[in-house]
Structure 1
Amino acid sequence: MKNFKTILAAHAVVLAALACPLANASLINNGDGSFTDTSTGYRWQTLSQYDGKDYAAILGILPTGYHVASEAELATLTASASANPANFASDALAMGAGPGAYMIWGFYGDGSLYAWKSDFDEMWNTNAAPLPGGYTTANGWLAWDYSIGTGYSLPGLSVFAVNTTTSVPEPATLATFGIGLVGLAMRRRTVRSKSRAV
């Protein structure tokens, strides 16, 4: 009995340890034109679906349940996809930007704002779209200079479209299921040992 409890406790520790890395925030491409932010459970449309379309055209083709992300919703995404240049390639692929992309950007809010992240930035950037844009790197190179509005369409410009209807995240479900099994097994052993003692 003592060995069984030791083995059971070891399994519980292993289950808890396995659930921890799964709970870290990351972006997972779902393969169906969307990706999931594991920290919030939000589903986002991949950027490539709306590449080069203007804001009004995008609004007309958003799937049911999706809307253009608000500033607060975009903040949750930018927290999960930190602007670490070393992680840019994997985040860009998960977001549907395609291999070799050096920048991801899209509208959010009412279409007067856009956000971008590039393979050399240390942070996400936002700008009011109707204002003349311009971004220079630390060494003075002009990275881009766009002045856009809701009627504009540019190559690579997309939209951050999100579905905030969430279900129970899988890692939490697995951990809860594992803990429940451990509890049932221990309860069964306790009841069995008490009935033998009588």
Structure 2
Amino acid sequence: MTSIDPTDFIEVPEGTLTFQNEKQQAKFELGVCMAVYKWDELNIAVENQWGGTKSNEKRDWISGIVIELFNDSKVVDNQLIEETLLYAMYDEFETQIDNDSALEIAALILKIYRQVQVENYNLIDESYNKWLEKESKKKEIQKVHIEKDPNNPDISDSEDDEDEDDEKESEDVDMDVDKPEPQGPIIYDDGFELVQKGRRR
């Protein structure tokens, strides 16, 4: 792998690094998102929900703060992007990265910026199409799990049936307790009748 220069930077003479052309700015923002989505360490953290149930949203937020670096500054270098990514991972996912993966993503983002400057969107479009294809496959897998097989009913259905049966049985037991069968009078050998409690005539 080609070594990455942490001090490599992009600078404009005045203003900020925001693109004035709306299409360029939109493509750049999409490119940053695609670069962040390529960060394997972050993807592992999201998939395992190390940042809680909103881990997906936190990944999108990280893309947003990287974009803000360009919107707020006239100069951005690899090291600044790398540090921003690493701090975000530590703050949001309590994960410390000790390899150069964040620096690689930073270099990719600078590369994307330079391509957008000359209105070359090939890398961004290719990355976006791959991401769409990946998401489509995920949805197909989810559909297979969700759809019910008529020949193999859902376990939850059988559990519901069992619950209903249990309720019916408990109702039957209640009925037996509440409505005891009437008994006839108990007569002793000497002709006396036993007085039974709770019986009223």
Band the TM-score falls in, shorter-chain normalisation = under 0.3
User: Given the two structures, how large is their TM-score scaled by the length of structure 2?
Assistant: 0.22
* Higher Rg of the two aligned structures: 2
Query: Which is richer in helix?
Result: 2
User: Given the two structures, how large is their TM-score scaled by the length of structure 1?
Assistant: 0.22
Larger RCO: 1 or 2 (CA < 8 Å, sep 6+): 1
Query: Which is richer in strand?
Result: 1
